[in-house]
Amino acid sequence: MTDRYAVIGNPVSHSKSPQIHKMFAEQTGQDISYEAILAPLDGFAETVEQLRKEGFKGCNVTVPFKFEAFGIAKHHLTDRAKGAQAVNTLKFEGGTIDGDNTDGAGLVCDIQKNHKFFLKERRVLLMGAGGAAYGVVLPLLGAGAKLTVVNRTPSKAQQLFQTFATQGDITATTYEELKSSKQQFNMLINATSSGLSDDDPPDLRGTILAENGMAYEMVYSRETKFRRFANDNHMKISDGLGMLVEQAAESFFIWRGVRPETAPVITALRLS
Ligand code: ATR
């Protein structure tokens, strides 16, 4: 019998997850279906309950429901979901709902496996202190990165730093400090939501990236001003498409116990 999965969001029609999981299923011979489900903004918990009743085996959760999903799975969370304080993958097992967060693992896998950029001992500047940033801190520290977090509202960067201070090599700074110093990083990660709007990106020196460094923009759906900044300053830059596919592969593995090949899926999406 075909096992059913879905991504729940609002909005959700733009989601590439159904396309990605369909390709994973074909490639691995897994008998699953995967659909996009729009939940009302005040109806996430009811939507999850409905899916469970209908016999779905699990779902991905996207904006704006990742925090609510964390609450729903609060008794069955992985450490990385606890670290992220958000859940993007739910697995329905018997009477329980297990919650995990594969976003950070997806980012680290894309950077290290696909881009061959190894994070151990590398100085990484993480821009932003919202949900996207929290989601990736533990996996970055786990990979051995030396993390500096910076945020437009400095108190939130401080708060993020305090949350993870005992978990690895992490510090916090301000954009002003970065501008006035000569500090350089091996990797810049834009985890702000500036790329989703036409807002200006974080204000950085064009010389902030060390030689052979790499800039990473988590947004994959559009050409962002941060990408333009990186290009203008001759930085190697990646968008977040690989992260999207890798986090999906990790969810697929959680549900099916099978790890799909991601490279052909990333290539197919780039061509589509
Ligand atoms: P997400 O879930 O995408 O992380 P969020 O939780 O609303 O969304 O967080 C957005 C993050 O992007 C915040 O850290 C925000 O900075 P503030 O805390 O100061 O609001 C950051 N951000 C958004 N637009 C930005 C911009 N134009 N420049 C710098 N930082 C920006």
The pLDDT confidence band at residue 135, using thresholds 50, 70 and 90, is very high
pLDDT of residue 39: 98
What pLDDT does 101 receive? 98
Q: Which residues contact 177 (CB under 8 A, 6 or more apart)?
A: none
* Helices 154-164 & 131-142 angle (0-180, nearest 10): 40
Share of the chain above pLDDT 70, in %: 100
In this structure, the strands spanning 209-217 and 236-238 are parallel
**Ordered alpha helix ranges (H), the chain:** 17-28, 44-53, 66-72, 79-84, 103-109, 131-142, 154-164, 175-180, 225-232, 241-256, 263-271
3-class DSSP state of 230: helix
pLDDT band, very low/low/confident/very high, at 115 (cuts 50, 70, 90): very high
| Mean of the per-residue pLDDT values of the chain | 96
Probe ligand 1: pick from 137, 151, 193, 243, max atoms within 8 Å of CB? 193
225 catalytic? Reply is no
> How large is the average pLDDT for residues 79-85?
94
Residue whose CB lies within 8 A of the most ligand 1 atoms, among 192, 218, 243, for a mutation test? 192
Measured from the CA of 134, which atom of ligand 1 is nearest? 4
Task: Assign 3-state DSSP to the chain and report helix, strand, coil percentages, each to 5.
Answer: 40, 20, 35
Helix orientation angle between 263-271 and 17-28, rounded to the nearest 10 degrees: 130
Model pLDDT, residue 46:
98
pLDDT at 202: 93
pLDDT band at 75, cuts 50/70/90?
Answer: confident
Domains of the chain: 3-101+243-271 (3.40.50.10860), 104-239 (3.40.50.720)
pLDDT digits (tens, 9 = 90+) for 171-214: 999 999 999 999 999 999 999 999 888 889 999 999 999 999 99
**Would you tell me how many other CB atoms lie within 10 Å of the CB of residue 251?**
29
How close is the Cα of 220 to the center of ligand 1, in Å?
16
Q: Calculate how far, in angstroms, residue 192's C-alpha sits from the geometric centre of ligand 1.
A: 4
Ligand 1, atom 21: nearest CA belongs to which residue?
Answer: 192
Ligand 1 atom 26, closest CA: 194
Catalytic, out of 16, 22, 66, 120: 66
Residue given tokens 């333009």 in the structure block = 228
The set of protein residues with a Cβ atom below 6 angstroms from ligand 1 is 128-133, 151-153, 156, 192-194, 199-200, 202
Q: Which atom of ligand 1 is nearest to the CA of 199?
A: 27
Residue 189: strand pairing partners: 126, 216
Chain segment 226-247, per-residue pLDDT in tens: 999 999 999 999 999 999 999 9
pTM of the model: 0.96
